[in-house]
Amino acid sequence: MSETLSRGTLFDPELVTDLISKVKGRSSLAVLSNQQPIPFNGQKEFIFTMDSEVDVVAENGKKSHGGMSLDPVIIMPIKVEYGARVSDEFLYSTEEEKIKVLEAFNDGFAKKVAKGIDLMAFHGINPRTGAASTVIGDNHFDKKVTQTVDYVASQVEENIEAAINMVQGSENVVTGIALDTTLSSALANLKVNGVKQYPELAWGANPGAIRGLKADINNTVYNASSKDHAIVGDFADMFKWGYSKQVPFEIIKYGDPDNSGKDLKGYNQVYLRAEAYVGWGIIDPSAFARVVEVKVEG
């Protein structure tokens, strides 16, 4: 165990599998879309657009040019990291105790990565600071998805229908919806003749589907600057994300790796640090629409 935990090694494959499994269960984007491994140097996804419809041709008739355009979307992985200080007693613990610490760290790291994927891809922010990330740039839903519907709490069903119509009007399909807790609560409280129309959403439930549409409820959907209450669209085919299967892991024994001003040796501590490489791409922004709270000008 001591060798596998040396500085600069990788998480055990079983821990990586467990980590990604947990990420899938906590990220709305991971729930609604399909993931695939992303190479360190990124990859291209090509959008094939056939410009015309099929043509009826008579026997011995003249055929015409239909036309096709090809546009690449580059998915480049971004490095995210998380570190934590623990007592240096960790170094002298039994193998079983070390495994317990690693499993707990892995569980916490999975939660942070899952939340981070949503915050980065939905809003383009650095999850730790909450500020816009220059590394992410414009590669996020709030910037690329310009089809929006104004959120009105008393017309929540109409809001969602309008967003769906926008996507379908762009000749795309809707495979899923990500909702924040405000919109899901509005649906849960919606009554017709005293009868709740969405009882499956009562008491903060997250049923996985609403009216047969794949759905996930998450507080990562809403952001103070963009104010998204829901995002609908073709998550199955028009959003791609993935991760590198290698997750670098370090046990740092010396120095001040988190810039806290406290030397590890001076405080009898070691530092555990894990990194993950996550990439995503919005293949066609017109395949999505956002239900957005109206911004009140000050």
Cα separation, 188 vs 198, whole angstroms? 5
130 has a pLDDT exceeding 90: yes
pLDDT for 6 equals 40
pLDDT for 265 equals 93
The model carries a pTM of: 0.85
Overall average pLDDT of the 36-59 stretch: 62
Cα separation, 221 vs 179, whole angstroms? 6
7 compared with 135, residue with greater pLDDT: 135
* Per-residue pLDDT tens digits for 185-208: 999 999 999 999 999 999 999 999
Q: Is 268 left (phi over 0), alpha (psi -120 to 50) or beta?
A: left
The SS3 of residue 9 is strand
Residue pair 98/90 in contact (Cβ under 8 Å)? The answer is yes
151 compared with 76, residue with greater pLDDT: 151
150 has a pLDDT exceeding 70: yes
Q: Quickly tell me which residue has 């355009």 as its tokens.
A: 69
Per domain, the residue ranges of the chain are: 9-50+73-285
Picking from 9, 95, 3, the residue whose alpha carbon sits closest to that of residue 273 is: 9
φ, ψ at 242 (rounded to 5°) = -170, 175
Beta bridge partners of 278: 78, 243
- Which H or E run contains 292? strand 288-292
Residue pair 226/20 in contact (Cβ under 8 Å)? The answer is no
pLDDT for 76 equals 80
162 has a pLDDT exceeding 90: yes
Q: What does the block give as tokens for 125?
A: 């922010």
Average pLDDT, the chain: 86
* Per-residue pLDDT tens digits for 6-40: 445 666 777 777 777 777 668 999 999 988 766 65
pLDDT for 256 equals 93
* Per-residue pLDDT tens digits for 255-290: 999 999 999 999 999 999 988 889 999 999 999 999
47 has a pLDDT exceeding 50: yes
Cα separation, 165 vs 170, whole angstroms? 8
Residue 287 carries which side chain, given as an amino acid letter? A
Task: Return the biggest CA–CA distance within the chain.
Answer: 88
Picking from 244, 252, 207, 282, the residue whose alpha carbon sits closest to that of residue 88 is: 252
- Which H or E run contains 80? strand 78-87
* Per-residue pLDDT tens digits for 206-229: 999 999 999 999 999 999 989 999
Cα separation, 278 vs 275, whole angstroms? 10
Picking from 253, 276, 284, the residue whose alpha carbon sits closest to that of residue 87 is: 253
132 compared with 46, residue with greater pLDDT: 132
Residue pair 165/172 in contact (Cβ under 8 Å)? The answer is no
Strand order in the sheet with 228-233: 148-150, 288-292, 228-233, 176-179, 213-217, 209-210
Of 66-80, 138-152, 196-210, 241-255, least confident by mean pLDDT is 66-80
Residue pair 274/82 in contact (Cβ under 8 Å)? The answer is yes
Position 144 confidence tier, pLDDT thresholds 50, 70, 90: very high
Overall average pLDDT of the 239-253 stretch: 84
The SS3 of residue 260 is coil
The SS3 of residue 31 is helix
Residue pair 288/145 in contact (Cβ under 8 Å)? The answer is yes
Residue 17 carries which side chain, given as an amino acid letter? T
* Per-residue pLDDT tens digits for 54-72: 667 666 666 665 555 556 6
CATH of 9-50+73-285 among 3.40.1110, 3.10.450, 3.90.1690, 1.10.490: 3.90.1690
Of 45-59, 240-254, 260-274, least confident by mean pLDDT is 45-59
